[in-house]
A and B are shown apart, each in its own frame.
Chain A
Amino acid sequence: MADSANSARGDLKLTRITKSYGDFTAVDDLSLTIPEGSFFALLGPSGCGKTTTLRMIAGLEEPTVGSIHLGSTDITTTKPYQRPINTVFQNYALFPHLTIFENIAFGLRRRGIKDVDEAVNKVLNLVELPHLAQRKPTQLSGGQQQRIALARAIVNRPALLLLDEPLGALDLKLRRQMQIELKWIQKEVGLTFVHVTHDQEEAMTMADTIAVMNEGKIEQMGSPADLYDNPKTAFVANFLGQSNLIKGSLVGTDGDSLVAELFGQKISLPRNRSHAVDSSIFAGIRPEKFRISLLQTPVSGNVLSGGKIEDVSYIGVSTQYQVMMPWGQELMVFEQNDDGVAPFQIGDAVNISWEPIFTFALRGDEDAEAGTEVIPEDLDEE
C-alpha cells in the first residue's frame, strides 16, 4: 500500500470545494492552503461546515465539487486508509476491545512497520502515559483517553494531523492544560496540525493561523492577533471576542487616517483597518480598548462624550461597564483594575476615549449582531 498518495508530503490545498447534502450546502466553494508544519485552526459555530471540511480532508466524505491536493498529489477521491493523514476524533473513538498499546500500534501494524514496540513506547512517553500500555480504553479517564487518541494518530507520523474538537469533552482546567501540551507536542514532532473547534479562545491559544468559517465559507483567515485587531466582517468581530460596533459614516481623510462621524462626533481610524466599500460604516472598538473618564478629565485620542454608566460588574481582573450613549446604544467597556482608582458608579456621566489605531471599520450594510447569538456549547449536535 506504499503508493504515491501514502507518501505524499507538502502543503494541503483545497480548491473550490463544495459539499452538498440534497438541498443543504455544508461547504460552499471553499479554497484554502494550509502550509506544511503549521498549526492551523478552522474556527466556527456549530453547522458552519468546519467538521465537514475536516472529514473531506480525512477522506471520510467526498467533495461534491472541487479538489484536494497534498503537495502535488491529488487526494480528492483517495480512500482514507490510503492517505498519510490521521485524525484525533471528537470522542476519541479508541478501540474498546484492544489494549492501549494495541490501539496505538494499530496504524503501524496495518502498514507492516517494524519496531512497533519502540515506536509505541516512545509516543507513550511523549504523552506521559507509559504505565497504561496494558489497560483497556474504558479504564482510562477522559483526559488520558484524549492523549492516547493523540498518540495513536501521531505515532504514524502523518503528513497531516486532523483534530476534530479534540478537547470538547474535557473540563475547563484540563482543556487549558491540554491546549498547552498539544502546542508543545506539535512543535516537538513538527507535523502539520489542522484543528477544528468552535472555541475561539482555544483556536487563538494554539493556532498559528485561524480560518473563521460561517455558513460553509471562510469569513477571514489570518494570525490570531490579525483576526482580533483587524476583523473584516461583523461575524468575525463578534465571534472572536466581543466588539462594540457603532453606526457612522466616513467623512474625510487625514494623511494615513480616515475621519469618520459617529452620531455627530468625529473620530479617526487607520486607513488599513477599513473594510468599508462606501461611506457607510460600522466603527468597531474592542471593549478593553476603551477608557472611561469623568466629564472634567482631559482625554486624548478618539472621544465619544455624553455617556452614562448603566451597569457595573466587578470580575476581579477587570471591571465591566455598560455605558449608555446619547443615541441609545449600550457600549461595553472592560477596565483593568490596576490603577487603584475606585470604579465608576452607576449613573456617572462619562466620556469614552481610545487610541485611534484600535479602531476598525466594517461595511455599513452588515448585520451588527452576526456571530453574537452563537451558543458555543452544543458540541454534539454536529
Chain B
Amino acid sequence: MKKISTPYLLLIPGFAFLFIFFILPIANLAQTSTQTPLLNGDTGQYEQTFRFANYIDAFIENREQFSRSFIYAIIATLIALLISYPLAYALAFKAGKYKNILLVLVVAPFFTSFLLRTVAWKQILGEEGFVVPSLRTIGVISESTTLTSTSFAVVMGMTYNFLPFMTLPLYASIDRIDPRTLEASGDLYANGFTTFRKVTLPLSMPGVVAGTLLTFIPAAGDYVNAQILGSPNTKMLGNVIESRYFKIVDYPTAAALSFTLMAAILILVTIYIRKAGTEELV
C-alpha cells in the first residue's frame, strides 16, 4: 500500500495549489460571466441570472478587438519564428564555445521588467529615436509617417517581448539533432536547401510547435504592448478585458470575454497541434 500511496501524497501540494489558485478562480469567473446588474443597485453590483446571452453580446460588441488580437498574435508569432529559427540554428550548430554566452544573451532581457522593455520600444520607435529618421532618410517611410501608436509598433513590441519563448524551445530541439544526420543527407544527394526541408525542419518540428505556442498564447492575451505602444485603434481583447474590469467595472462582460478568448485559443491550438502532427515525432 505504501508504495502506491507515496506518489499520490507527493501530488497533494501541487493539486492543492492548482485547486485554490486555478480551479476556484475559474469557477468564480464562470459564475460571474452569466450575471446581470442588480436592479437599483450600485455600479459593480451584480446578481446571478444565468444570462448566457452575455457571451453573444460581449462577442458582437468586441469582435473587432477579438480578431485584432488573433491577427496581431499570429503576425508576431510568424516574425518571431523567422527571426528565431536562424538564431537558434546558429546557436546550436555554429556558436561553438560562445554557445553559453549567447544563450545568456537571449534570456538577458528577462532581467529587466517587461513594462520597462516595452516602454523602451516607445523610445526606439519615437521621433527622437534613430529608427524613424534613418527610415525617412532612405525613403522607406514618408516625412509625415510616425511609428509610435501604430499596429506596427504593437506587433514589433510583442515580437520582441516573446522572442525568447520562441528561441529557447527551438534551440533545444535543433541542438538535439545529430549533425551526422545532416551530413548523411548531404551524402545522399540532398543539397543544403533540401537537407533543411527534409531533415532539419522535420526534426526541429517539436521546437517549432512549442515555440509558436509559447509565443502565440501569451501574445493573443497580451494587452501591455497595445496599451503602451498602440492607440485606441490598436486595442486588443486584453485591453477590453482590462478596462471592463478595472474602469467600467463590468465584471460579467469581462468574464465572458476571458472565457471566449480562452476557448478560442484552446480550439486554435488543438487544430494546430493536430495539423503539425507532433505525435508522430520522437
Contact = CB atoms under 8 A, between A and B. Distances in A.
Interface of A: 1, 58-60, 79-81, 85-87, 89-91, 93-97, 106-107, 110-111, 152-153, 156
A110 B194 contact: yes
Contacts of B185: 95, 106
Contacts of A89: 180, 183-184
Contacts of B184: 87, 89, 93-95
Contacts of A153: 187-188
Contacts of A79: 186, 191
Contacts of B181: 93-96
A90 B190 CA distance: 20
Contact of A81 (B180, B191, B280, B281): B191
A93 B178 contact: yes
A89 B184 CA distance: 8
Contacts of A81: 186-191
Given A85-B187, A90-B180, 15 more contacts: A59-B187, A60-B187, A81-B188, A86-B187, A89-B184, A91-B178, A94-B184, A97-B202, A97-B281, A106-B185, A106-B190, A106-B198, A110-B188, A110-B190, A111-B189
B163 to A, nearest CB: 27
Residue of B181, B183, B187 with highest tally of chain A CB at under 10 A:
B187
Contacts of A97: 199, 202-203, 280-281
List 10 A-B pairs, minimum CB-CB distance, nearest first. Answer: A107-B188, A93-B180, A110-B189, A93-B184, A80-B186, A97-B202, A81-B189, A87-B187, A93-B181, A106-B188
Interface in B176-219: 178, 180-181, 183-191, 194, 198-199, 202-203
A1 B199 CA distance: 20
B20 to A, nearest CB: 41
SS class, residues of chain A in contact with chain B: loop
Contacts of B280: 97
B103 to A, nearest CB: 24
Contacts of A96: 181, 203
24 contacts: A58-B187, A59-B186, A60-B186, A79-B191, A80-B183, A81-B191, A85-B187, A86-B187, A87-B187, A93-B178, A93-B180, A93-B181, A94-B181, A95-B181, A95-B185, A97-B202, A106-B190, A106-B198, A107-B188, A110-B189, A110-B190, A111-B189, A153-B188, A156-B188
Contact of A156 (B180, B186, B189): B189
A182 B187 CA distance: 20
Contact of A80 (B187, B199, B203): B187
A247 to B, nearest CB: 46
A95 B188 CA distance: 12
Given A91-B180, A95-B181, A96-B181, A152 B188 contact: yes
A52 to B, nearest CB: 14
A79 B199 CA distance: 18
A44 B136 CA distance: 65
